[in-house]
Structure 1
């Protein structure tokens, strides 16, 4: 299986630790990393790309000291090496205009507000990762037990039908 990265970005250490703890169920199959700043996140992404690890999903806070989460997600969507990643905003402070800007730039796949429930965030991440794999991973079968099994099997069936035509 290819290597994939889930990256969580939040400048508040307690929030970041909590998010990572909520997502540790994905750690067996994905590289799960946390960053407290956009510059740290960029370093992690660069290292991952050098190791041929794909950024599958980024979960980012909006209000951060050096750059807003939305501007970072827009930047990632404009980069050919990161534009395919699922981009999620986890924040309690993004205004409607900021969120609309991110959606209009096709750089936001999902919005979660703080505070969140662990089961809610795991469900959203699972759905987003399932969609990412269906769109970008040629070998879907190994992901069936890990992600949304029904959607993975449907995609496999759809692929067989389109190859058979």
Structure 2
């Protein structure tokens, strides 16, 4: 069985490490991958197309190069990722940034840094379940990680 991918994008390695640690309960079923920029995330996503589904991207906003909101807006316009769920994880977004994230990037969750570990894991579990249900993926092998109320 091909493992679906949860992609974490942040320019700070310690934040990526913390995200991966928080998502560890899902690691047996999902590949938890990381990228330090939108460009690196693009490269990873290009490699994954047609090989592994990407149910969830967790992305920081303030990064060198392309910021997280612009990256998520661009990703949302790509039909290959139409069902991919998005979490914006940031501590520096302005009110206007937040409005753009909701209205243009169509994020599914907004979590502030520093985040509460349980909130990230709960949000991730809920959103990957929505992805599985809406995409029609065979969920038998990953059922234990999904939100039973949504199945």
TM norm. shorter chain > 0.5: yes
Shift of 1:132: 1.1
Q: Which residue of 2 aligns with 1:131?
A: 130
Q: Distance in 2 between matches of 1:143 and 1:4?
A: 9
Q: Which residue of 1 aligns with 2:31?
A: 31
Residues 9, 35 of structure 2: 8 Å contact kept: yes
Shift of 1:54: 1.3
Structure 2 unaligned regions, length at least 5:
none
| Structure 1 residues 36-115: aligned runs within 5 Å | 36-50=36-50, 52-115=51-114
Residues 76, 106 of structure 2: 8 Å contact kept: yes
Q: Report how many aligned residue pairs link the two structures.
A: 151
Q: Distance in 1 between matches of 2:73 and 2:33?
A: 20
TM, length-normalised to structure 2: 0.93
Q: Distance in 1 between matches of 2:73 and 2:107?
A: 8
Runs of 4+ in 1 over 3 A off after TM superposition: 140-143
Q: Distance in 1 between matches of 2:137 and 2:76?
A: 22
Shift of 1:38: 0.9
Structure 1 unaligned regions, length at least 5:
153-165
The structure, 1 or 2, with the larger RCO (C-alpha pairs under 8 Å, 6+ apart) is 2
Q: Which residue of 2 aligns with 1:116?
A: 115
Q: Distance in 2 between matches of 1:117 and 1:49?
A: 31
Coordinate RMSD, CA, aligned: 1.5
Q: Distance in 2 between matches of 1:128 and 1:146?
A: 11
Q: Distance in 2 between matches of 1:41 and 1:84?
A: 17
